[in-house]
Structure 1
Amino acid sequence: MTKSNRGRPRAFDRDRAVLDAARLFWRRGYSGTSTRALTAALGLSTSSLYAAFGSKAGLFEEAVRTYAERYREIYQQAVAENDVRTVIERILTDSVHEFTQPGGTHPGCLISSAVMTDSTSTLDTSAYIAELHSSNEQALLVRIERAIQDGELAAGTDPAVLTGLIQSVWHGLSVRSNDDAAREGLLATAHLAHQLICRQLTSRTP
Protein backbone atom coordinates (compact mmCIF):
# COMPACT_ATOMS: atom_id res chain seq x y z
CA MET A 1 0.00 0.00 0.00
CA THR A 2 1.11 3.55 -0.74
CA LYS A 3 1.92 5.49 2.41
CA SER A 4 -0.02 8.72 2.90
CA ASN A 5 1.68 12.09 3.27
CA ARG A 6 -0.13 12.71 6.52
CA GLY A 7 1.67 15.32 8.61
CA ARG A 8 3.63 16.69 5.70
CA PRO A 9 3.94 20.52 5.97
CA ARG A 10 2.34 22.54 3.22
CA ALA A 11 4.63 24.13 0.66
CA PHE A 12 5.81 27.61 1.63
CA ASP A 13 4.36 30.30 -0.61
CA ARG A 14 6.25 33.49 0.23
CA ASP A 15 3.95 35.80 -1.74
CA ARG A 16 0.88 34.40 -0.01
CA ALA A 17 2.59 34.62 3.37
CA VAL A 18 3.44 38.29 2.82
CA LEU A 19 -0.13 39.05 1.72
CA ASP A 20 -1.65 37.27 4.72
CA ALA A 21 0.74 39.07 7.07
CA ALA A 22 0.04 42.46 5.46
CA ARG A 23 -3.69 41.91 5.86
CA LEU A 24 -3.22 41.06 9.53
CA PHE A 25 -1.01 44.12 10.13
CA TRP A 26 -3.59 46.33 8.38
CA ARG A 27 -6.41 45.07 10.62
CA ARG A 28 -4.60 44.98 13.96
CA GLY A 29 -1.67 47.35 13.58
CA TYR A 30 1.98 46.43 13.99
CA SER A 31 2.11 46.29 17.77
CA GLY A 32 -1.31 44.60 17.94
CA THR A 33 -0.18 41.71 15.74
CA SER A 34 1.59 39.08 17.80
CA THR A 35 4.06 36.55 16.46
CA ARG A 36 1.62 33.84 17.53
CA ALA A 37 -1.13 35.43 15.42
CA LEU A 38 1.23 35.60 12.44
CA THR A 39 2.31 31.99 12.69
CA ALA A 40 -1.33 30.90 12.94
CA ALA A 41 -2.37 32.99 9.93
CA LEU A 42 0.59 31.93 7.81
CA GLY A 43 0.60 28.27 8.85
CA LEU A 44 4.25 28.49 9.91
CA SER A 45 6.12 27.61 13.06
CA THR A 46 7.88 30.44 14.87
CA SER A 47 11.26 29.08 13.80
CA SER A 48 10.14 28.91 10.15
CA LEU A 49 8.82 32.47 10.27
CA TYR A 50 12.12 33.74 11.66
CA ALA A 51 14.10 31.70 9.15
CA ALA A 52 12.11 33.19 6.27
CA PHE A 53 11.82 36.82 7.40
CA GLY A 54 14.30 37.33 10.24
CA SER A 55 11.77 38.81 12.65
CA LYS A 56 8.27 40.24 12.91
CA ALA A 57 9.73 43.63 11.97
CA GLY A 58 11.40 42.07 8.93
CA LEU A 59 8.13 40.53 7.80
CA PHE A 60 6.34 43.85 8.29
CA GLU A 61 8.96 45.70 6.26
CA GLU A 62 8.72 43.21 3.40
CA ALA A 63 4.92 43.51 3.41
CA VAL A 64 5.04 47.29 3.24
CA ARG A 65 7.69 47.33 0.52
CA THR A 66 5.78 44.77 -1.53
CA TYR A 67 2.56 46.75 -1.56
CA ALA A 68 4.03 50.27 -1.48
CA GLU A 69 6.35 49.93 -4.48
CA ARG A 70 3.29 49.73 -6.71
CA TYR A 71 2.66 53.43 -6.00
CA ARG A 72 6.14 54.34 -7.22
CA GLU A 73 5.35 52.47 -10.43
CA ILE A 74 2.07 54.38 -10.80
CA TYR A 75 3.86 57.73 -10.59
CA GLN A 76 6.65 56.66 -12.93
CA GLN A 77 4.17 55.48 -15.55
CA ALA A 78 1.98 58.57 -15.15
CA VAL A 79 4.73 61.18 -15.52
CA ALA A 80 5.82 59.50 -18.76
CA GLU A 81 2.54 60.57 -20.40
CA ASN A 82 2.77 63.27 -23.09
CA ASP A 83 -0.16 65.35 -21.80
CA VAL A 84 0.18 66.74 -18.25
CA ARG A 85 -3.59 66.50 -17.81
CA THR A 86 -3.31 62.77 -18.37
CA VAL A 87 -0.45 62.68 -15.86
CA ILE A 88 -2.68 64.12 -13.14
CA GLU A 89 -5.62 61.90 -14.07
CA ARG A 90 -3.56 58.72 -14.04
CA ILE A 91 -1.91 59.46 -10.72
CA LEU A 92 -5.29 59.88 -9.06
CA THR A 93 -7.37 57.22 -10.79
CA ASP A 94 -4.69 54.53 -11.08
CA SER A 95 -3.99 54.98 -7.36
CA VAL A 96 -7.68 54.60 -6.52
CA HIS A 97 -7.75 51.33 -8.44
CA GLU A 98 -4.72 50.19 -6.43
CA PHE A 99 -6.23 51.35 -3.11
CA THR A 100 -9.37 49.34 -3.79
CA GLN A 101 -7.97 46.06 -5.09
CA PRO A 102 -10.01 42.98 -4.05
CA GLY A 103 -9.23 41.85 -0.52
CA GLY A 104 -8.24 38.40 -1.74
CA THR A 105 -5.21 39.80 -3.53
CA HIS A 106 -4.47 43.04 -1.69
CA PRO A 107 -4.26 44.00 2.01
CA GLY A 108 -5.42 47.62 1.76
CA CYS A 109 -3.36 50.81 1.72
CA LEU A 110 -0.84 50.23 4.50
CA ILE A 111 1.08 53.41 3.80
CA SER A 112 -1.64 55.77 5.02
CA SER A 113 -2.82 53.72 7.97
CA ALA A 114 -1.98 54.09 11.65
CA VAL A 115 -0.04 50.84 11.41
CA MET A 116 2.93 52.88 10.16
CA THR A 117 3.42 54.81 13.39
CA ASP A 118 2.29 52.52 16.17
CA SER A 119 5.68 51.08 17.12
CA THR A 120 9.29 52.21 17.35
CA SER A 121 10.15 48.93 15.67
CA THR A 122 8.83 50.40 12.41
CA LEU A 123 11.22 53.37 12.27
CA ASP A 124 13.12 52.00 9.28
CA THR A 125 9.87 51.28 7.46
CA SER A 126 8.58 54.76 8.23
CA ALA A 127 11.75 56.21 6.73
CA TYR A 128 11.18 54.11 3.63
CA ILE A 129 7.62 55.42 3.26
CA ALA A 130 8.85 59.00 3.70
CA GLU A 131 11.39 58.41 0.92
CA LEU A 132 8.68 56.90 -1.29
CA HIS A 133 6.40 59.93 -0.89
CA SER A 134 9.32 62.29 -1.49
CA SER A 135 10.37 60.42 -4.62
CA ASN A 136 6.85 60.42 -6.03
CA GLU A 137 6.37 64.10 -5.25
CA GLN A 138 9.68 65.04 -6.86
CA ALA A 139 8.85 63.09 -10.03
CA LEU A 140 5.54 64.92 -10.29
CA LEU A 141 7.13 68.30 -9.58
CA VAL A 142 9.71 67.85 -12.34
CA ARG A 143 6.98 66.83 -14.80
CA ILE A 144 4.86 69.87 -13.93
CA GLU A 145 7.85 72.20 -14.27
CA ARG A 146 8.43 70.79 -17.73
CA ALA A 147 4.77 71.29 -18.62
CA ILE A 148 5.01 74.95 -17.64
CA GLN A 149 8.16 75.43 -19.71
CA ASP A 150 6.50 73.76 -22.70
CA GLY A 151 3.39 75.94 -22.43
CA GLU A 152 1.03 73.09 -21.49
CA LEU A 153 -0.07 74.95 -18.37
CA ALA A 154 -1.15 78.55 -17.90
CA ALA A 155 1.60 81.09 -17.30
CA GLY A 156 2.12 81.84 -13.65
CA THR A 157 1.33 78.31 -12.46
CA ASP A 158 3.27 77.56 -9.28
CA PRO A 159 4.66 74.01 -9.71
CA ALA A 160 5.21 73.46 -5.99
CA VAL A 161 1.67 74.53 -5.09
CA LEU A 162 0.14 72.38 -7.84
CA THR A 163 2.21 69.38 -6.79
CA GLY A 164 1.14 69.89 -3.18
CA LEU A 165 -2.51 70.05 -4.20
CA ILE A 166 -2.34 66.82 -6.18
CA GLN A 167 -0.50 65.09 -3.36
CA SER A 168 -3.09 66.30 -0.86
CA VAL A 169 -5.90 64.86 -2.97
CA TRP A 170 -3.94 61.61 -3.31
CA HIS A 171 -3.48 61.29 0.45
CA GLY A 172 -7.14 62.07 1.05
CA LEU A 173 -8.21 59.33 -1.35
CA SER A 174 -5.84 56.91 0.36
CA VAL A 175 -7.23 57.68 3.82
CA ARG A 176 -10.82 57.35 2.61
CA SER A 177 -10.03 53.99 1.03
CA ASN A 178 -8.89 52.81 4.45
CA ASP A 179 -12.28 53.90 5.78
CA ASP A 180 -13.89 51.47 3.31
CA ALA A 181 -15.08 54.11 0.83
CA ALA A 182 -16.34 52.44 -2.36
CA ARG A 183 -14.20 52.50 -5.49
CA GLU A 184 -16.94 54.23 -7.48
CA GLY A 185 -17.14 57.10 -5.00
CA LEU A 186 -13.38 57.51 -4.84
CA LEU A 187 -13.12 57.51 -8.62
CA ALA A 188 -15.85 60.14 -8.84
CA THR A 189 -13.90 62.31 -6.39
CA ALA A 190 -10.68 61.76 -8.32
CA HIS A 191 -12.33 62.71 -11.63
CA LEU A 192 -13.90 65.84 -10.17
CA ALA A 193 -10.60 66.92 -8.61
CA HIS A 194 -8.88 66.34 -11.94
CA GLN A 195 -11.47 68.40 -13.82
CA LEU A 196 -11.33 71.31 -11.36
CA ILE A 197 -7.54 71.38 -11.32
CA CYS A 198 -7.25 71.31 -15.12
CA ARG A 199 -9.97 73.93 -15.55
CA GLN A 200 -8.13 76.30 -13.24
CA LEU A 201 -4.73 75.69 -14.75
CA THR A 202 -5.80 76.19 -18.35
CA SER A 203 -7.76 79.40 -17.75
CA ARG A 204 -5.97 82.47 -19.02
CA THR A 205 -6.51 86.08 -18.17
CA PRO A 206 -7.53 88.08 -21.30
Structure 2
Amino acid sequence: MSSATRGRPRSFDRDLAILEAARLFWRCGYSGTSTRALTAALGLSTSSLYAAFGSKAGLFEEAVRTYAERYREIYRRAVEERDLRVVVERVLVDSVHEFTQPEDAHPGCLLSSAAMTDSTSTLDTSAYYTELHAWNEQALRVRVEQAVRDGEIAAATDAAALAGLVQSVVHGLSVRARLGADREDLLATAGLARKVICAPLASLGR
Protein backbone atom coordinates (compact mmCIF):
# COMPACT_ATOMS: atom_id res chain seq x y z
CA MET A 1 0.00 0.00 0.00
CA SER A 2 1.39 3.42 -0.89
CA SER A 3 2.04 6.04 1.75
CA ALA A 4 -0.55 8.28 0.06
CA THR A 5 -3.19 5.59 0.47
CA ARG A 6 -2.25 4.89 4.08
CA GLY A 7 -2.53 8.58 5.01
CA ARG A 8 -5.85 9.20 3.31
CA PRO A 9 -8.82 9.73 5.68
CA ARG A 10 -11.57 7.20 5.16
CA SER A 11 -14.31 8.50 2.91
CA PHE A 12 -17.47 9.90 4.49
CA ASP A 13 -20.70 11.62 3.56
CA ARG A 14 -20.19 15.25 4.57
CA ASP A 15 -23.91 16.07 4.65
CA LEU A 16 -24.61 13.06 6.85
CA ALA A 17 -21.69 13.99 9.10
CA ILE A 18 -23.08 17.50 9.58
CA LEU A 19 -26.54 16.07 10.32
CA GLU A 20 -25.17 13.71 12.98
CA ALA A 21 -23.05 16.46 14.50
CA ALA A 22 -26.03 18.81 14.59
CA ARG A 23 -28.08 16.21 16.47
CA LEU A 24 -25.40 16.02 19.15
CA PHE A 25 -24.95 19.78 19.42
CA TRP A 26 -28.72 20.38 19.50
CA ARG A 27 -29.13 17.80 22.27
CA CYS A 28 -26.05 18.47 24.41
CA GLY A 29 -24.92 21.99 23.51
CA TYR A 30 -21.47 22.92 22.27
CA SER A 31 -19.62 22.41 25.54
CA GLY A 32 -21.50 19.22 26.33
CA THR A 33 -20.51 17.61 23.03
CA SER A 34 -17.04 16.14 23.26
CA THR A 35 -14.73 15.55 20.34
CA ARG A 36 -14.80 11.87 21.26
CA ALA A 37 -18.61 11.81 20.98
CA LEU A 38 -18.40 13.52 17.61
CA THR A 39 -15.84 11.14 16.18
CA ALA A 40 -17.89 8.17 17.38
CA ALA A 41 -21.12 9.51 15.86
CA LEU A 42 -19.47 10.49 12.59
CA GLY A 43 -17.28 7.43 12.27
CA LEU A 44 -14.15 9.56 11.88
CA SER A 45 -10.81 9.74 13.60
CA THR A 46 -9.96 12.98 15.36
CA SER A 47 -7.43 13.83 12.65
CA SER A 48 -10.00 13.20 9.91
CA LEU A 49 -12.59 15.35 11.69
CA TYR A 50 -10.09 18.22 11.95
CA ALA A 51 -9.04 17.74 8.32
CA ALA A 52 -12.65 17.98 7.18
CA PHE A 53 -13.93 20.79 9.42
CA GLY A 54 -10.85 22.50 10.88
CA SER A 55 -11.97 22.11 14.49
CA LYS A 56 -14.90 21.24 16.69
CA ALA A 57 -15.89 24.92 16.53
CA GLY A 58 -15.73 24.81 12.74
CA LEU A 59 -18.04 21.80 12.65
CA PHE A 60 -20.46 23.47 15.05
CA GLU A 61 -20.64 26.63 12.95
CA GLU A 62 -21.16 24.65 9.76
CA ALA A 63 -23.95 22.66 11.38
CA VAL A 64 -25.71 25.81 12.62
CA ARG A 65 -25.40 27.62 9.32
CA THR A 66 -26.37 24.59 7.25
CA TYR A 67 -29.71 24.12 8.98
CA ALA A 68 -30.52 27.70 9.96
CA GLU A 69 -29.86 29.04 6.46
CA ARG A 70 -32.57 26.75 5.11
CA TYR A 71 -35.09 29.11 6.71
CA ARG A 72 -33.54 32.13 5.00
CA GLU A 73 -33.81 30.30 1.69
CA ILE A 74 -37.55 29.81 2.22
CA TYR A 75 -38.04 33.58 2.34
CA ARG A 76 -35.56 34.24 -0.45
CA ARG A 77 -37.56 31.99 -2.78
CA ALA A 78 -40.97 33.18 -1.60
CA VAL A 79 -40.43 36.92 -2.13
CA GLU A 80 -39.56 36.26 -5.77
CA GLU A 81 -43.19 35.26 -6.45
CA ARG A 82 -45.15 37.84 -8.43
CA ASP A 83 -48.39 37.54 -6.43
CA LEU A 84 -48.18 38.62 -2.79
CA ARG A 85 -50.78 36.03 -1.82
CA VAL A 86 -48.49 33.34 -3.23
CA VAL A 87 -45.59 34.88 -1.29
CA VAL A 88 -47.51 34.44 1.96
CA GLU A 89 -48.55 30.92 1.02
CA ARG A 90 -45.00 29.89 0.18
CA VAL A 91 -43.61 31.26 3.46
CA LEU A 92 -46.22 29.42 5.53
CA VAL A 93 -46.34 26.13 3.63
CA ASP A 94 -42.61 25.82 3.02
CA SER A 95 -41.94 26.62 6.68
CA VAL A 96 -44.28 23.81 7.74
CA HIS A 97 -42.46 21.38 5.46
CA GLU A 98 -39.15 22.46 6.99
CA PHE A 99 -40.46 22.16 10.55
CA THR A 100 -41.71 18.64 9.86
CA GLN A 101 -38.74 17.16 8.05
CA PRO A 102 -38.26 13.47 8.91
CA GLU A 103 -35.73 12.81 11.65
CA ASP A 104 -33.36 11.04 9.28
CA ALA A 105 -33.03 14.23 7.24
CA HIS A 106 -33.15 16.97 9.89
CA PRO A 107 -31.68 17.40 13.39
CA GLY A 108 -34.67 19.25 14.82
CA CYS A 109 -35.34 22.88 15.70
CA LEU A 110 -32.26 24.90 16.60
CA LEU A 111 -34.33 27.47 18.52
CA SER A 112 -35.35 24.91 21.13
CA SER A 113 -31.97 23.19 21.33
CA ALA A 114 -29.23 23.28 23.93
CA ALA A 115 -26.97 24.91 21.33
CA MET A 116 -28.92 28.18 21.63
CA THR A 117 -27.51 28.87 25.09
CA ASP A 118 -24.09 27.32 24.65
CA SER A 119 -22.03 28.52 21.71
CA THR A 120 -18.45 28.91 20.57
CA SER A 121 -16.49 32.11 21.03
CA THR A 122 -16.69 32.69 17.27
CA LEU A 123 -20.43 32.19 16.82
CA ASP A 124 -23.07 33.59 19.16
CA THR A 125 -25.91 31.28 18.17
CA SER A 126 -28.67 33.35 19.72
CA ALA A 127 -27.43 36.51 18.01
CA TYR A 128 -27.06 34.68 14.72
CA TYR A 129 -30.60 33.28 14.93
CA THR A 130 -31.97 36.72 15.87
CA GLU A 131 -30.25 38.18 12.81
CA LEU A 132 -31.72 35.43 10.65
CA HIS A 133 -35.27 36.11 11.82
CA ALA A 134 -34.76 39.86 11.35
CA TRP A 135 -33.52 39.25 7.80
CA ASN A 136 -36.53 37.08 7.01
CA GLU A 137 -39.00 39.63 8.33
CA GLN A 138 -37.25 42.49 6.52
CA ALA A 139 -37.30 40.56 3.22
CA LEU A 140 -41.03 40.03 3.63
CA ARG A 141 -41.63 43.67 4.59
CA VAL A 142 -39.75 44.91 1.50
CA ARG A 143 -41.87 42.61 -0.68
CA VAL A 144 -45.08 43.98 0.87
CA GLU A 145 -43.87 47.54 0.29
CA GLN A 146 -43.26 46.64 -3.33
CA ALA A 147 -46.83 45.31 -3.58
CA VAL A 148 -48.08 48.64 -2.22
CA ARG A 149 -46.02 50.62 -4.76
CA ASP A 150 -47.22 48.40 -7.60
CA GLY A 151 -50.85 48.88 -6.62
CA GLU A 152 -51.25 45.18 -5.92
CA ILE A 153 -52.64 45.95 -2.46
CA ALA A 154 -54.07 49.05 -0.80
CA ALA A 155 -51.75 52.02 -0.26
CA ALA A 156 -52.83 52.15 3.40
CA THR A 157 -51.46 48.65 4.10
CA ASP A 158 -49.04 48.64 7.03
CA ALA A 159 -46.14 46.64 5.58
CA ALA A 160 -44.39 46.19 8.91
CA ALA A 161 -47.56 44.96 10.62
CA LEU A 162 -48.37 42.55 7.79
CA ALA A 163 -44.84 41.12 7.79
CA GLY A 164 -45.00 40.81 11.57
CA LEU A 165 -48.31 38.98 11.36
CA VAL A 166 -46.93 36.42 8.93
CA GLN A 167 -43.86 35.98 11.13
CA SER A 168 -46.04 35.46 14.19
CA VAL A 169 -47.93 32.69 12.41
CA VAL A 170 -44.66 31.07 11.31
CA HIS A 171 -43.33 31.13 14.87
CA GLY A 172 -46.59 29.66 16.17
CA LEU A 173 -46.39 26.86 13.63
CA SER A 174 -42.82 26.19 14.75
CA VAL A 175 -43.90 25.89 18.38
CA ARG A 176 -46.73 23.52 17.51
CA ALA A 177 -44.36 21.40 15.41
CA ARG A 178 -41.99 21.11 18.39
CA LEU A 179 -44.93 20.04 20.55
CA GLY A 180 -45.69 17.19 18.17
CA ALA A 181 -48.34 18.49 15.75
CA ASP A 182 -48.18 16.55 12.49
CA ARG A 183 -47.63 18.00 9.05
CA GLU A 184 -51.23 17.74 7.84
CA ASP A 185 -52.52 19.53 10.93
CA LEU A 186 -49.98 22.31 10.50
CA LEU A 187 -50.68 22.63 6.77
CA ALA A 188 -54.39 23.02 7.53
CA THR A 189 -53.58 25.81 10.00
CA ALA A 190 -51.23 27.44 7.49
CA GLY A 191 -53.91 27.30 4.81
CA LEU A 192 -56.50 28.96 7.02
CA ALA A 193 -54.00 31.59 8.14
CA ARG A 194 -53.17 32.36 4.54
CA LYS A 195 -56.88 32.89 3.74
CA VAL A 196 -57.39 35.15 6.77
CA ILE A 197 -54.30 37.22 5.97
CA CYS A 198 -54.88 37.49 2.23
CA ALA A 199 -58.66 37.96 2.06
CA PRO A 200 -58.54 41.69 2.87
CA LEU A 201 -55.54 42.11 0.56
CA ALA A 202 -57.56 40.76 -2.34
CA SER A 203 -60.53 43.03 -1.63
CA LEU A 204 -58.45 46.17 -1.07
CA GLY A 205 -56.14 45.77 -4.04
CA ARG A 206 -56.80 47.01 -7.53
TM-score by length of 1: 0.84
* Bigger mean CA deviation after superposition, 81-90 or 150-159: 150-159
SS at match of 1:121: coil
SS at match of 2:120: helix
- Equivalent pairs counted in the alignment come to 196
The 4+ residue runs of structure 1 with deviation greater than 6 A are none
Measured at CA, do residues 114 and 20 of structure 1 come closer, stay the same or move farther in structure 2, by a change above 3 Å? Answer: closer
Structure 1 gaps of 5+ residues are: 1-7
Q: 1-side partners of 2:53 and 2:124: how far apart?
A: 15
1:145 equivalent to 2:149? Answer: no
Deviation sequence 1:83-136 (CA, Å, 0-9, x none): 1010001001011111211211222232x2233422142643433323322222
1:19 equivalent to 2:12? Answer: no
Corresponding residue for residue 112 of structure 2: 113
Q: 2-side partners of 1:30 and 1:172: how far apart?
A: 27
Q: 1-side partners of 2:34 and 2:178: how far apart?
A: 22
What is the CA distance between 1:183 and its match in structure 2?
0.9
Corresponding residue for residue 40 of structure 1: 40
What is the CA distance between 1:9 and its match in structure 2?
7.0
Corresponding residue for residue 76 of structure 2: 76
The residue type equivalent to 1:27 in the other structure is R
In percent, how many aligned pairs have the same letter?
71
Please show how residues 85-100 of structure 1 align to structure 2 within 5 Å. Answer: 85-100=85-100
TM-score by length of 2: 0.84
Measured at CA, do residues 116 and 157 of structure 1 come closer, stay the same or move farther in structure 2, by a change above 3 Å? Answer: farther
Contact 2:21 2:59 in 1 (8 A): yes
Structure 2 gaps of 5+ residues are: 1-7
Please show how residues 1-206 of structure 1 align to structure 2 within 5 Å. Answer: 10-110=10-110, 112-121=111-120, 123-204=123-204
SS at match of 2:30: coil
Q: 2-side partners of 1:26 and 1:114: how far apart?
A: 5
